[in-house]
């Protein structure tokens, strides 16, 4: 029987990808990085530290440490989320669905831990979560399973009795490696992409998840 559900944050609970892009473009450009769409496509599922190292590797800057630049990006993202963060469709519905079923609810994100309360407070959903984990405190970020294993451990639930909601391939791989069943929430453009078929279920929005899907995952159909 499934006992817990764990959510990714960026792109799954909050539409924050555009904010990360905006913040990274502003901050990295300010230290002389030529931020292009082509190179940016490589950074979408990286941790903030990995993104900073990626750009430094292409356009080494001087005058500011990698840590300073990384902090500037995170601070800028926090400001943008506070100003204009919007939930992904169906957030409240899916959290309420699992809460009514007495599921433990967790969060596993590659984002820095200080952004977690910013997002949960902005969306007004802090009350639903029993446990949160950031890759920042793990040996490696997604697609490594560490951040999912950490949340399952905090929830005191065996990973095989957990369900993960994810919007990225690296997140789905991360949860799968932790032996967690996955639900991929995908935009229309990615919905038929075969690479997402490693997920147990594919949906267009969080609120599309029903008892039917829960039964399907529970019975391994």
- Tell me the per-residue pLDDT of 42-57, one tens digit each, with 9 for 90 and over: 887 788 999 999 999 9
Checking if the pLDDT of 192 tops 70, the result is: yes
Checking if the pLDDT of 120 tops 80, the result is: yes
Helices (H) and strands (E) in the chain, counts: 9, 6
Rounding to the nearest 10 degrees, give the CA dihedral for residues 94, 96, 101, 105. 70
Position 51 scores a pLDDT of 95
Section 84-93 average pLDDT = 97
Give the CATH number for residue 105: 3.40.50.1000
Q: Which residues contact 183 (CB under 8 A, 6 or more apart)?
A: 163, 164, 165, 166, 199, 200, 201, 202, 203, 209, 213, 217
Q: Give 88: exposed, middle or buried? Use CB within 10 Å, 0-12, 13-18, 19+.
A: buried
Q: Which of 65, 84, 103 is the last residue of a domain?
A: 84
Checking if the pLDDT of 221 tops 80, the result is: no
Position 106 scores a pLDDT of 98
Cα(first)–Cα(last) distance of the chain, in Å? 14
**20 secondary structure, DSSP code:** H
| DSSP letters for 69-132 | HHHHHHHHHHHHHHHH--BPTTHHHHHHHHHHTT-EEEEEESS-TTHHHHHHHHHT-GGG-SEE
> In this structure, are 80 and 62 located in the same domain?
yes
Query: Hey, is 183 helix, strand or coil?
Result: strand
Say how many domains are in the chain.
Answer: 2
Checking if the pLDDT of 220 tops 90, the result is: no
What's the predicted TM-score (pTM) here?
A: 0.94
Position 81 scores a pLDDT of 97
Query: Shortest CA distance to 119 belongs to which of 87, 155, 163?
Result: 87
For residue 165, give its domain range: 4-15+86-218
> In this structure, are 44 and 104 located in the same domain?
no
> In this structure, are 101 and 188 located in the same domain?
yes
Checking if the pLDDT of 129 tops 90, the result is: yes
Position 188 scores a pLDDT of 85
> In this structure, are 188 and 117 located in the same domain?
yes
Give dist(CA 124, CA 214) in Å, integer: 25
Section 1-19 average pLDDT = 96
Integer angstrom CA distances of residue 29 from 20, 36, 56, 76: 14, 10, 11, 13
């Amino acid at each position: 029987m499934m006992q817990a559900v764990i959510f990714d944050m960026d792109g799954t609970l909050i539409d924050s990808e555009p904010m990360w892009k905006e913040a990274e473009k502003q901050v990295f450009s300010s230290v002389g990085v030529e931020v292009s769409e082509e190179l940016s496509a490589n950074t979408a599922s990286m941790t903030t530290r990995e993104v900073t190292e990626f750009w430094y590797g292409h356009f080494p800057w001087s005058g500011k440490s990698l840590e300073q630049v990384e902090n500037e990006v995170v601070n800028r993202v926090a400001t943008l989320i506070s100003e204009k963060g919007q939930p992904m469709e169906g957030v409240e519905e899916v959290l309420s669905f699992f809460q009514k079923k007495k599921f433990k609810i967790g969060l596993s994100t590659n984002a820095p831990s200080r952004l977690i309360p910013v997002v949960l407070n902005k969306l007004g959903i802090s009350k639903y979560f029993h446990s949160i984990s950031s890759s920042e405190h793990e040996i490696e970020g997604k697609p490594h399973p560490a951040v999912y294993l950490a949340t399952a451990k905090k929830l005191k639930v065996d990973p095989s009795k957990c369900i993960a909601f994810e919007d990225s391939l690296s997140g789905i791989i991360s949860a799968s490696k932790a032996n967690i069943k996955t639900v991929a929430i995908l935009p229309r453009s990615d919905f038929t992409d075969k690479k997402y078929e490693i997920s147990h279920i594919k949906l267009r929005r969080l609120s599309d998840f029903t008892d039917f899907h829960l039964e399907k995952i529970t019975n391994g159909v």
